[in-house]
Structure 1
Amino acid sequence: MPPAYDLIIERGGSIVVETIEACDEDAAWRAGLMLHIDALMAVVCRDEHDPESTRA
C-alpha cells in the first residue's frame, strides 16, 4: 500500500485537507498540482511508518 499524503489546499479563504495515495513525495506533488493547480499550498506525508514523515 503506498503512503498517504495530505494535500493542503486554499479554497475560498479556507484551508482544506485532501488525502491521496502516491508512491513518493514527487508523485504526490504532481497529482496535487494536476488536481489543484491554483490552490495547492503544501503536501505532507502522513504515513506513520515512514521516518521522513516525522521531519519538520
Structure 2
Amino acid sequence: MRFVKPPPRDPLQGILGYSDEPLVSSDYQGDPRSSIIDGLSTLVIGGNMVKILAWYDQ
C-alpha cells in the first residue's frame, strides 16, 4: 500500500502536513500545522490495519 499525498489545493493545506524525509521531533518545532504525517514511519499491518505516525509541536 502506498500513501497518496493530498492535492496542492486540499482543504487541509496548512493544517495537516506530510513528510517523507527522515526527520526527528526537533525538526518540527515551530511548525504551524496541527500535525505532520511521517510517511517513512507509516505502516500497513496485516493487510487491513494502518499505523499512522504523526508529529506535532505543542
- TM-score normalized with structure 1 length: 0.31
Q: Radius of gyration: which is bigger? A: 2
**Which has more strand, going by share of residues?**
1
**Which has more helix, going by share of residues?**
1
- TM-score normalized with structure 2 length: 0.31
